Structure 1
């Protein structure tokens, strides 16, 4: 999609949404690794309510938007289902994500919010996320011949 098709409000709304998300994580305590680790050790179930509340709001909005709108308001893209294969990459990626979440005590979105509340040691985990993403992209490019007609996992 070209930038001309997007609403001029696209980037400002994305940035405001990110700020609201970050403040929500900070206020709820989910930007603190101790809280997340307590959840993963079945000691504090507050994260379950935060994630559950987010899932309910998202589900309602998707149901309303896809029923009453033919296109996404900010991107002008048609609403379609995006079905991906459940393959080896999903298993490996999910495992790496889960191990990283367990070791650092925080997921990627909350890691950025955690920096905002002064948790600067989390920058090591963020650096690890970037390094891991780069290594995965490099490995995928080396593994796949340049002439092959392949599509990205996000297409």
Structure 2
């Protein structure tokens, strides 16, 4: 139960931070990408601050022998660049540039009642399902070869 409450509290803090920073506002995000028009550099501060907090947090947390609610830390072990990583990164960037939403900004924006975030989240879930189906189909096809 404490694990669920902790996750909910962390999600709430994250969501509030996203809303306060403007990352839930697609116009602000799209203006960040509009370098030769209405460029808004304020998201550089948001991203830089997130990077500093993350780096400090990792240094602090990873000094502990184990996480609070698990036996071990679950850190990525894969270090190589592959087609799914590069393609996924490109699709993420293209989608962010077109819609002005990323998953972290769209989910808190659902509370606005606007249709845009809902359309984005539904499309995102659909994309995840299609990607998982394709991944399974390719894995099955590769196993038969």
What residue in structure 1 maps to residue 11 of structure 2?
A: 18
Once the two structures are superposed, what CA deviation does each residue of 1:46-78 show, in whole Å capped at 9, x if it has no partner?
Answer: 1111111111111111111222x1111122214
Residue of 20, 33, 49 corresponding to 2:45: 49
Could you tell me the TM-score, scaled by structure 2's length? 0.87
Structure 1 stretches lacking a partner, 5+ long: 1-7, 149-155
Cα displacement (A) at 1:107: 0.5
Moved over 6 A (4+): none
Deviation at 1:147, TM superposition (A): 9.4
Number of corresponding residues: 140
Query: How far off is 1:28 after superposition?
Result: 1.8
Query: Which residue matches 1:66?
Result: 62
- Larger fraction in helix: 2
Alignment match, 1:4: none
2: CA distance, partners of 1:97 / 1:79: 23
Given that 1:31 and 1:106 are in contact with CA atoms closer than 8 Å, whether structure 2 keeps it comes out as yes
Structure 2 gap segments, 5+ residues each: none
| 1:58-97 alignment runs, 5 A limit | 58-67=54-63, 69-78=64-73, 82-97=77-92
| CA shift for structure 1 position 13 | 0.9
- For the 8 Å contact 1:30–1:110, the answer to whether it is kept is yes
What does the per-residue CA deviation read over 1:5-60, in whole Å, with 9 as the maximum and x for residues that have no partner?
A: xxx42211111111111111112221100000011113111111111111111111
Q: CA RMSD in A?
A: 1.9
Question: Structure 1 CA distance, aligned partners of 2:108 and 2:138?
Answer: 34
